[in-house]
Chain A
Amino acid sequence: MPVIEVFIEDFRELLGRDVTIEELQKRLPMLGTSWEGESEEGFHLEVFPNRPDLLSIEGLTRAYASWTGAKTGLIDYPVKKSDYKVIVDKKTQKVRPWFVTAVIKNVDFDDPLIRSIIQMQEKLHMTHGRKRRKVAIGLHNLKPIEFPVTYTTKPPKFKFRPLGERFEKDLTWMLTEMKTGKEYAWTVEGFKEYPMILDKKGMVLSMPPIINGEYTRIDEVTSEIFIDITGTDLKAITEVLNVICTTLADRGTEIHEVHNHYPDGTVLTTPNLQPWVMELDNKYVNHTLGYEFTPKQSAEELEKMGHGTKIKGDIIHVSIPSYRADIMHPIDLVEDIAIAYDYDNFEPEIPPISSPAGEDPKEVFSRGLRNFLVGFGLLEVVTFMMSNRDKLFTRMCLPEEPICETSNPKMEAYDSLRNRLLPSLIEIISFNKHHPYPQNIYEVDDVVVIDPSTETGAKTKRRLSIVLCHARANFSEVKALMKGLLDNLALKAEVEEGGWDCFIDGRRFIAKVGSEPLCWAGEIKPEVLEAWDVEMPVAALEMDIDHLFRLVYMES
């Protein structure tokens, strides 16, 4: 989630009062942000991705002023009529179809505003913009631009002078040689022609979402700007445009509309900073929050979140500001009321609901088993589910089998799910060579195996593994242990020679109850111990607990 830096002086100036860091540290989190600590000239704040309007200091101050009661209710953001015209070429529709724009006049680009705009633009690109692929923002000096502006595409050989370069370069050069080009080339990968914004004279404003042209460079004397937002999702780019325009409007600028002509004949006039209306039933508010707000109280709380309200009986007509992209259901307004009233002010309560309770029977069984095994002097371990082929097969001298494997692991050591428990326990023994022996350990936990009959094609299975490791660990000891366990569950197993290849031939067995195998056991091969760098004999078993559970559970 994005973290912004807020300069406390800028915040105070916009708020119009001498707020302290202590107050903000205490209060801002309750507005729905996360305090990330003080910085040299202010503080760092994490803003939730559903509130892009808080990414600028202007937006944050606006929300804080209203929430603390200084300036509540809906703010009107007028948009001036104009003749600015933009043409969206058909060629863009297959690569980056959406384009919205605005003109802002009377801008005073002082340091705080530049800082705020650059930070907001960067954070919007990362989060809402999904690293510029979904949304890309371009700010231009309006002065040199001759309308209509055209949004089109150009072949890779097309040349223009990109921002920060002295000469014209072709588009391929920009994608392969420039820093931003290389960073964002993936967003236009596979395109035959690249998106391009030009004015009437054919001068380049921008190659979105890569780089702007030098032609419309903004500097400290710029007082009128043209904003372009391109992207793959109209809803997202509109939200971003509204957030930027309202931020600039808070600085006393004038917003002018632009008419965007789409190839199908549609004309989108942007920005549209008009609020939209949602109806909220006050009964729904109280029903959800467990409270008894009057409609008037609810409306007051909503105004503290910047909404406009009109009450008609139990129904509140809420005018939602254009920058609040996150409101999509009345429940979002209920949350706004809860935040406005302050989460701290809701008394906790436990409702008198009676419903059947209890643990999962297999978990109860597993716990019984875990407690019982302690009686043998065994130490329980809790190991990772994730493993890899080397640990599961190569080091265990076991033949490779299909297992559940991830496609994008960050670490090779943990790229698959284990299909046996035993390798995890041997690994623990290999980590603990510096501790005294005997090291007799066990675990009752899950493994995952391939099973095409399930929804995912994999199945979780519960296993028990016991590893006995000391100078005299042997076959009889582990067999006696299994017998002790089964005797106590009133079960008798048929023991057959054979089983897993990690055990010494002639000193291993499979125990069956009925036709299904229940347990595999024996003395671990020296080859396996060598592969794990274990210098102490090991006798071990692994048991199918799902099977054991069925045997015991069915009987009782």
Chain B
Amino acid sequence: MILVPLWGRLVRPMNPKEVAMQLHENERKVLLELKERGTATTEKLALHTGLSRDAVEKASGWAETKGVVSFKEKVSQFFTLTEEGNKYAKKGLPEVNLRNLLVHGAQEIGSLKKTFEGINIALAWSRRNGWANIDKGRIELTEKGRDITDLVEDRLLKTLYKSESVEGSVFTDTERDIIEQLIKRKLVIKSEHMDKSVAITKFGKEVIPELESTKGVRIITQLTPEMLANKEWKNAVFQRYDVSLPAPSVTPGKRHFISQIIDYIRRFWVELGFKEMTGDYLELSFWNFDALYQPQDHPARDLADTFYMKTPYKGHLPDPKMVEQVKLTHENGWTTGSKGWQYKWDPEVAARNCLRTHGTGMSVNQIAKLKPEDLPGKFFSVGRVFRNETIDWNHLAEFYQTDGIVVGEGVTFRDMKGYLKAYMEGLGVKKFRFRPGYFPYTEMSMEAEVWNEERGIWNELFGAGMFRPEVVKPLLGLDVPVLAWGPGFDRLVMQSYKVNTIKELYSNDIGLLRRAKLWME
């Protein structure tokens, strides 16, 4: 994007000298030309300044904003004969010819119809003008017809015949009426012409001496490499700009706002001492559900919410020992101290591939990788999760979540509140609360809610909790407290960017991306 220089507009009373320095070369030419003439059409100015008419008009426009000229636009009308009009101009109008004939005495209509050219037109107009009467097949002039001294129509046709077109202002009002008639008779056509004229103002006249004093001095608009090379700038004067003028904004290359916020969230967790964990979008149901102690007939595993894969349909279950522990925990609680769900666990169901419905699968995968010597540990992830939704203004099939876990002997429910409070405050949420929630894999379960000032209600923001021993022990081999959470942040981004729907948030509307403010935290 190239910035174009802009020329000034008078925003406050200025002194003639200052204004003189603000004038562009073309404005100076126009103004100097007007010194003698006072007023001139742009056409004439073009002729005398050697500029194009377009350039004169632009320069006059700028000059007007500086108060040195006033710019007037006047519409002129021009009249021209049509082909038929030309014919009558030469031969005379039929009704005029008839009148001139009748001056010599009345005539039989019957014989006129045979001999007189254009008799019908002549009769019609004679009657309309009130020049002649028809009585018992004879036509004779009225008193009005006889006493005409000025045959205006005829005279106008002849005037128009003499020059190609005639400017309307030369005609009297009566003549203009007649011309309108002739236009209706398609003998004359009217054309319009926009006449722009420029007049020097009183202030403009005060500027003139300033211009003349710098006459011959080079006025620089754009400094060029050549001027720098030949030092021309040394004897030149820089045109002054009105710096208060609006400039168009430059659209830069830029990061997407969601991606800026993801960077921020990463930094946020790292500053709190968390290590990043990553994982795949396509996951075994084992990690997405079973390792999280979700019974295999749990409604959340329904086809309605989860994308299951056609290709690749299923995968291989991980470490058989760990899988066996998970299986026993589901069936009877294994050694976790739980009663378990008390049903028959099916490895085929767990081997089924799906698109991860939450980032929590990554968290349990991480726990399974940990050794006792790795504890305590704090981990986070940021990534997309998928829901089998029909997409509309408020529902998407994929969105972002940032999951976190803290694993370690001695971490407590109060610590969980501590981390989540920090997260909420980090994202600028002022009023929030934590209330009991429910997830099959956490106990305590917690729902973080944010106060919606507009509607006066609490809105659910995300779930959190401490992983049940039935989740942790089969994977880690130890019963260690684990804090876990999985917030989405779409709602907060929407609030921050004044975007009303989730769909718009992910629309990649280039206009929105170009004007979205930077995330400067």
Residues of A whose CB lies within 8 Å of any CB of B are 1, 29-32, 34-35, 37, 48-51, 127, 130, 134, 233, 235, 287-291, 328-332, 334-335, 338-339, 343-344, 346-351, 353-360, 362-363, 367, 370-371, 373-386, 402-411, 413-414, 417, 428, 431-432, 435, 439-441, 446, 448, 450, 452, 454-460
B391 touches A411 (CB 8 A): yes
B256 touches A381 (CB 8 A): yes
B280 touches A407 (CB 8 A): no
24 A-B pairs within 8 Å (CB atoms) are namely A1-B438, A32-B437, A127-B299, A288-B412, A288-B413, A290-B414, A338-B436, A343-B446, A344-B433, A346-B414, A350-B272, A353-B376, A358-B275, A373-B253, A381-B256, A385-B398, A402-B311, A403-B311, A406-B307, A407-B310, A408-B303, A409-B388, A441-B510, A458-B280
| CB contact under 8 A between A290 and B412, given known A48-B438, A355-B273, A458-B353 | yes
> Which residue of the partner chain, among A355, A363, A378, A431, contacts B276 with CB atoms under 8 Å?
A363
> Which residue of the partner chain, among A37, A331, A381, contacts B443 with CB atoms under 8 Å?
A331
Closest 10 CB pairs of A and B: A290-B412, A457-B312, A48-B438, A32-B436, A290-B414, A348-B417, A329-B338, A456-B315, A407-B310, A377-B253
B469 located at the interface, meaning its Cβ lies under 8 Å from any Cβ of chain A in the complex: yes
B113 located at the interface, meaning its Cβ lies under 8 Å from any Cβ of chain A in the complex: no
Given A359-B270, A455-B315, 12 other A-B contacts at CB below 8 A?
A287-B410, A287-B412, A287-B481, A288-B466, A360-B276, A367-B263, A377-B253, A385-B384, A413-B391, A428-B510, A439-B510, A458-B353
Complex: how many Å from CA A150 to CA B504?
Answer: 60
B241 located at the interface, meaning its Cβ lies under 8 Å from any Cβ of chain A in the complex: no
A379 touches B253 (CB 8 A): yes
| CB contact under 8 A between A385 and B414, given known A235-B342, A343-B434 | no
B435 located at the interface, meaning its Cβ lies under 8 Å from any Cβ of chain A in the complex: yes
Complex: how many Å from CA A402 to CA B313?
Answer: 13
| CB contact under 8 A between A405 and B310, given known A329-B336, A353-B406, A386-B386 | yes
Complex: how many Å from CA A455 to CA B310?
Answer: 16
A411 touches B390 (CB 8 A): yes
A410 touches B389 (CB 8 A): yes
**Segment from B11-19, B88-96, B141-149, B281-289 that makes contact with A:** B281-289
Neighbouring A residues of B314 by C-beta, 8 Å: 457
B444 touches A374 (CB 8 A): no
A376 touches B413 (CB 8 A): no
Complex: how many Å from CA A290 to CA B458?
Answer: 27
> Which residue of the partner chain, among A329, A357, A383, contacts B274 with CB atoms under 8 Å?
A357
A353 touches B411 (CB 8 A): yes
**Segment from B127-135, B167-175, B198-206, B418-426 that makes contact with A:** B418-426
Complex: how many Å from CA A364 to CA B142?
Answer: 106
B345 located at the interface, meaning its Cβ lies under 8 Å from any Cβ of chain A in the complex: no
Q: How far is the CB of B487 from chain A (nearest CB, A)?
A: 16
Residue ID in chain B nearest A343 by CB atoms: B434
Complex: how many Å from CA A344 to CA B201?
Answer: 76
B311 touches A405 (CB 8 A): yes
Neighbouring A residues of B443 by C-beta, 8 Å: 329, 331-332, 334-335
B429 located at the interface, meaning its Cβ lies under 8 Å from any Cβ of chain A in the complex: no
B259 touches A405 (CB 8 A): no
A455 touches B316 (CB 8 A): yes
Complex: how many Å from CA A348 to CA B415?
Answer: 6
B308 located at the interface, meaning its Cβ lies under 8 Å from any Cβ of chain A in the complex: yes
Neighbouring B residues of A348 by C-beta, 8 Å: 414, 417-418, 420-421
Neighbouring B residues of A413 by C-beta, 8 Å: 391
